[in-house]
């Protein structure tokens, strides 16, 4: 089995390196000048149909083939591990410095196995999908190399055996995300979005790194086994932090959660995710919906032995999760870009997951992660299919009535929407309802608070999801005639991954609910998830009152009905409503003004500080006294020295006599 796990993790890296180094122009022009690459200004989405790709095909085939193979291996490993096996594969020692020991090791338990199948499956499907989606892009080997590199980093993250290794994967996926958001690097907006994602994630990573430091300082180790064994002893201990005495575990958990908030785009650190939609749509599906953004959820679940002992941190997780779920759902109500609607939906669903983790229902959170990966990837790839068909149009108000043209895509989007809104028996129905019930079953004030926010968010989710469906596929078409003439369903290479994902969106919940959250849960998770002795949420959530169980369904139907009313029956209503409640509408449309707020609070002062340091400190002070000042003085001296060279002989003679007189005088005074 060890070989299989090694293959799963490292084959994508090999693929990425082969494709990236030898499939691209990296070495092609070694030793000779590369030809001038024309920048396609008109090529709006990078995959315009004007410029065919004429490079080698093997990099795409290789990486895709590897990923499909790895996905199959992962499923095999998944069933092996869920049968009760736990593995630990030591690859090499990485760091040994004093007490700090970090090894490269793969920690394979149920939790990693779940992540393995999610990551490799979605990645393989996205690879296949991209074969069609990116078929015309001149840089596709680079794209596939990045995708595989991302997959490797993500696998490293989920199989990590210590915090440092996890941080390696964590930063690796951040790098891949940065590269892929900025994949179309000729577009300023893509570069800006890439930088924004990177910088916002730095904030979270700062917390994560501090968390790792704190862990090492307190436990003297960063290996999970040691940490989890020692965690109970550490409960209740306090450490001095910024002149306060704080609970050690709470501090660590909060710092780690800060990292999770950044990576998983939680409230306050969410601003990068919608902008990340500048990347190619398959990237959005893989990284910004199904896998990378769930790394935070994985982190908290992995650290469950800590969180279970830090109730305050748990409360924070619930609070942030619930608020994110609610906030993102409200913003999603009014967005007009098809990808941004889904992006906010992702943000919101991640909030659900965190709310579940916070109340102690790790199984429910992971279950939602698992199902969400399928239906959200499905929605994104479906949206990509629509965008592809509409010649790179993303504004839903310039679509409409596409159902007759895109029947297959419509069906896929419908399945995704049903799953997302929690239509009975779809994947989302089991996982999302479980979270809402768990929040109620927690019976804490915070849990109840979360319950209500999540229920309202469920209503909003249903509304914006159906709004998207109705506006894009039904009603009158608002697209131009030429565009419509070219609309066509996507090729099979793009549709087949959708079918697979649709199957997952339909059946993953029903198939796995017993294992993840049902009666087999304890056996399924084994030691991968630690539950405190008094934590019975996973049990209690099955015994909530009937109205609680019904609430999500009612909300779903309500949202659907309202959307139907607004966008099919009376299309003039939303506009009237927006006019009547203009401040509210603008507030939502502008995403609660977070970007503007951050711009004022952080970005502009940062620029001001930077400009101050640059102009005043560096240029005026350091350069002024240093290089510039010195060179100016040198020039002064030089000018003076050469002015001494007057050309008059008597000046020269005078200088000589002065020199002799001076030297003689000096020696006489000194006494020789």
Partner 1 sequence: MSHLDFTAARPEIALALMAMALLLFGVFRKSRVVDAVNTLALMALAATALLVLFVPGSDRIIAFGGTFIVDAMARVMKILVIFAAGIALVMSVHYMKWERMERFEYAVLMLLSVLGMMVMISSGGLITLYLGLELQSLSLYVLAAMHRESARSAEAGLKYFVLGALASGLFLYGVSLVYGFAGTTTFAGLTQALKSGISIGLIAGLVFILAALAFKISAVPFHMWTPDVYEGAPTPVTAYFAAAPKLAAIAVFVRVLYEAFPHAEEAWRQVIVFMAIASMLLGAFAGVVQSNIKRLLAYSSIGHMGFVLVGLAAGGQEGLRGVMIYLIIYLVMTLGVFAAVIGMRRDGRPVEEIEDFAGLARTNMGLAFAIGALMFSLAGIPWLAGFFAKYFVLLSAVKTGLVALAIIGVLASVVSAFYYLRVVKVMFFDEPKEPVDPAPFELKLITALSVIFVLFYVVWPGPVTALAQAAIRPFIVP
Interface with partner 1 includes 655 (CB under 8 A)?
yes
The count of chain residues that interact with partner 1, using the rule CB under 8 A, is 27
On whether the CB atoms of residues 245 and 239 are closer than 8 A, the answer is: yes
Closest approach of partner 1 to the CB of residue 30, in Å: 25
Which residue is associated with the tokens 């993953």? Answer: 508
Closest approach of partner 1 to the CB of residue 643, in Å: 9
On whether the CB atoms of residues 557 and 461 are closer than 8 A, the answer is: no
Helix axes 58-82, 110-133, angle to 10 degrees: 160
Closest approach of partner 1 to the CB of residue 658, in Å: 7
Which residue is associated with the tokens 């608070």? Answer: 449
Taking the CA atoms of 364, 366, 371 and 375 in sequence, report the sign of the dihedral they define.
positive
| CB-nearer residue toward partner 1: 573 or 637 | 637
- Three-class DSSP category at 96: strand
Taking the CA atoms of 228, 229, 230 and 236 in sequence, report the sign of the dihedral they define.
positive
CA distance 299 to 261: 10
For residue 339, what is the DSSP state? H
Interface with partner 1 includes 632 (CB under 8 A)?
no
Site residues for partner 1, 145-174, by CB under 8 A, read none
Closest approach of partner 1 to the CB of residue 672, in Å: 4
Segment interacting with partner 1, rule: CB under 8 A, options 112-120, 197-205, 521-529, 637-645: 637-645
Nearest to 548 by CA among 458, 460, 427: 458
| CB-nearer residue toward partner 1: 583 or 672 | 672
Segment interacting with partner 1, rule: CB under 8 A, options 300-308, 428-436, 597-605, 629-637: 629-637
Pairing of strands 238-241, 100-108: unpaired
- Three-class DSSP category at 106: strand
Closest approach of partner 1 to the CB of residue 345, in Å: 56
| CB-nearer residue toward partner 1: 240 or 647 | 647
Interface with partner 1 includes 635 (CB under 8 A)?
yes
Which residue is associated with the tokens 């410095």? Answer: 97
Closest approach of partner 1 to the CB of residue 628, in Å: 14
Interface with partner 1 includes 617 (CB under 8 A)?
no
Nearest to 541 by CA among 366, 309, 667, 361: 361
| CB-nearer residue toward partner 1: 445 or 671 | 671
| CB-nearer residue toward partner 1: 568 or 667 | 667
Closest approach of partner 1 to the CB of residue 259, in Å: 48
Interface with partner 1 includes 652 (CB under 8 A)?
yes
Closest approach of partner 1 to the CB of residue 619, in Å: 21
Interface with partner 1 includes 658 (CB under 8 A)?
yes
Cα–Cα separations (whole angstroms), residue 395 to 126, 221, 380, 585? 23, 51, 15, 18
Interface with partner 1 includes 90 (CB under 8 A)?
no
| CB-nearer residue toward partner 1: 610 or 662 | 662
| CB-nearer residue toward partner 1: 188 or 671 | 671
Nearest to 256 by CA among 202, 293, 210: 210
Which residue is associated with the tokens 């006599």? Answer: 657
Interface with partner 1 includes 485 (CB under 8 A)?
no
CA distance 290 to 283: 10
Taking CB under 8 A as the criterion, the residue among 30, 242, 485, 649 binding partner 1 is 649
Interface with partner 1 includes 443 (CB under 8 A)?
no
Segment interacting with partner 1, rule: CB under 8 A, options 69-77, 109-117, 154-162, 650-658: 650-658
- The stretches of 359-402 forming alpha helices (DSSP H) are 362-389
Interface with partner 1 includes 669 (CB under 8 A)?
no
Q: Which residues of 404-424 are buried (b: 16+ CB within 10 A; e: fewer)?
A: ebbebbbbbbbbbbbbbbbbe
Interface with partner 1 includes 634 (CB under 8 A)?
yes
On whether the CB atoms of residues 347 and 294 are closer than 8 A, the answer is: no
Closest approach of partner 1 to the CB of residue 623, in Å: 17
CA distance 421 to 384: 20
Helix axes 58-82, 2-17, angle to 10 degrees: 160
| CB-nearer residue toward partner 1: 576 or 637 | 637
Nearest to 264 by CA among 292, 240, 301: 292
| CB-nearer residue toward partner 1: 238 or 639 | 639
Instruction: Categorise residue 108: left if φ over 0, alpha if ψ from -120 to 50, beta otherwise.
Output: beta
Interface with partner 1 includes 445 (CB under 8 A)?
no
Interface with partner 1 includes 641 (CB under 8 A)?
yes
Site residues for partner 1, 117-136, by CB under 8 A, read none
| CB-nearer residue toward partner 1: 202 or 651 | 651
| CB-nearer residue toward partner 1: 570 or 664 | 664
Segment interacting with partner 1, rule: CB under 8 A, options 363-371, 389-397, 484-492, 634-642: 634-642
Phi, psi of 624 (to 5 degrees): -65, -45
Interface with partner 1 includes 580 (CB under 8 A)?
no
| CB-nearer residue toward partner 1: 476 or 643 | 643
Pairing of strands 100-108, 244-247: unpaired
Q: Which two three-digit tokens encode residue 590?
A: 């502008």
Nearest to 527 by CA among 109, 114, 235, 162: 109
Interface with partner 1 includes 637 (CB under 8 A)?
yes
For residue 529, what is the DSSP state? S
Interface with partner 1 includes 664 (CB under 8 A)?
yes
Could you count the other beta carbons within 10 Å of the beta carbon of residue 27? 10
Interface with partner 1 includes 629 (CB under 8 A)?
no
Closest approach of partner 1 to the CB of residue 668, in Å: 6
β-bridge mates for residue 93, sequence order: 103
Interface with partner 1 includes 625 (CB under 8 A)?
no
Segment interacting with partner 1, rule: CB under 8 A, options 12-20, 56-64, 86-94, 631-639: 631-639
Closest approach of partner 1 to the CB of residue 150, in Å: 43
| CB-nearer residue toward partner 1: 503 or 663 | 663
Residue numbers at the binding site for partner 1 (CB under 8 A): 634-635, 637-639, 641-642, 644-645, 647, 649, 651-653, 655-660, 663-664, 666-668, 670, 672
């Amino acid at each position: 089995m060890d070989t299989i796990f090694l293959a799963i993790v490292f084959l994508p890296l090999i693929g990425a390196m082969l494709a990236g180094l030898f499939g691209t122009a990296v070495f092609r022009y070694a030793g000779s000048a590369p030809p001038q690459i024309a920048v396609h200004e008109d090529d709006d989405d990078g995959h315009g149909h004007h410029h065919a790709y004429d490079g080698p095909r093997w990099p795409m085939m290789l990486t895709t083939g590897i990923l499909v193979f790895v996905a199959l291996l992962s499923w095999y490993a998944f069933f092996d591990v869920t049968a009760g096996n736990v593995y630990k594969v030591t690859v090499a020692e990485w760091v040994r410095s004093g007490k700090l020991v970090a090894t490269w090791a793969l920690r394979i338990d149920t939790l990693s196995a779940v992540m393995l199948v999610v990551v490799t499956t979605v990645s393989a499907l996205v690879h296949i999908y991209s074969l069609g989606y990116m078929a015309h892009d001149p840089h596709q080997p680079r794209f596939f190399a990045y995708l595989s590199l991302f997959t490797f980093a993500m696998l490293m993250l989920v199989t990590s055996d210590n915090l440092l290794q996890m941080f390696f994967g964590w930063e690796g996926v951040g790098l891949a995300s940065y590269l892929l958001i900025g994949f179309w690097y000729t577009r300023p907006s893509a570069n800006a979005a890439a930088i924004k994602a990177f910088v916002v994630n730095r904030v979270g990573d700062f917390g994560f790194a501090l968390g790792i430091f704190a862990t090492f300082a307190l436990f003297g180790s960063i290996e999970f086994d040691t940490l989890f064994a020692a965690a109970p002893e550490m409960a209740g201990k306090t450490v001095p932090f910024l002149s306060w005495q704080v609970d050690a575990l709470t501090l660590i958990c909060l710092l780690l959660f800060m990292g999770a908030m950044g990576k998983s785009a939680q409230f306050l650190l969410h601003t990068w995710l919608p902008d990340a939609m500048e990347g190619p749509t398959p990237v959005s599906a893989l990284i910004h919906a199904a896998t990378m953004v769930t790394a935070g959820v994985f982190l908290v679940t992995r650290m469950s032995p800590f969180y279970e002992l830090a109730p305050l941190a748990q409360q924070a997780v619930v609070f942030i999760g619930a608020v994110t779920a609610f906030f993102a759902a409200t913003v999603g109500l009014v967005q007009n870009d098809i990808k941004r609607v889904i992006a906010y939906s992702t943000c919101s669903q991640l909030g659900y997951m965190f709310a579940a983790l916070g109340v102690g229902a790790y199984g429910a959170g992971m279950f939602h992660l698992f199902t969400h990966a399928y239906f959200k990837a499905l929605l994104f790839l479906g949206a990509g299919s629509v965008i592809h068909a509409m010649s790179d149009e993303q504004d839903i108000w310039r679509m409409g009535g596409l159902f007759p043209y895109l029947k297959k895509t419509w069906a896929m989007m419908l399945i995704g929407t049903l799953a997302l809104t929690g239509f009975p028996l779809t994947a989302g129905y089991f996982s999302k309802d479980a979270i809402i019930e768990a929040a109620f079953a927690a019976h804490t004030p915070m849990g109840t608070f979360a319950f209500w926010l999540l229920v309202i968010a469920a209503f909003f989710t249903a509304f914006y999801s159906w709004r998207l469906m109705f506006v894009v596929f039904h009603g009158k078409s608002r697209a131009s005639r030429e565009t419509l003439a070219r609309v066509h369903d996507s090729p099979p290479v793009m549709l087949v991954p959708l079918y697979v994902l649709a199957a997952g969106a339909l059946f993953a919940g029903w198939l796995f609910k017993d294992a993840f959250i049902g009666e087999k849960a304890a056996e399924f998770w084994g030691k991968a998830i630690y539950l405190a002795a008094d934590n019975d949420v996973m049990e209690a959530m099955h015994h909530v009152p009937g109205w609680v169980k019904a609430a999500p369904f009612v909300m779903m139907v309500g949202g659907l009905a309202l959307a139907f009313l607004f966008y099919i029956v009376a299309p003039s209503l939303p506009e009237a409503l927006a006019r009547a409640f203009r401040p509210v509408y603008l507030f939502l449309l502008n995403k609660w003004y977070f970007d503007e707020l951050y711009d004022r609070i952080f970005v502009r002062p940062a620029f001001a500080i930077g400009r101050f340091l640059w102009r005043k400190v560096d240029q005026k002070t350091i350069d002024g006294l240093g290089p510039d000042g010195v060179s100016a003085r040198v020039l002064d001296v030089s000018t003076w020295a050469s002015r001494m060279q007057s050309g008059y002989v008597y000046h020269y003679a005078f200088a000589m006599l002065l020199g002799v007189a001076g030297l003689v005088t000096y020696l006489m005074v000194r006494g020789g």
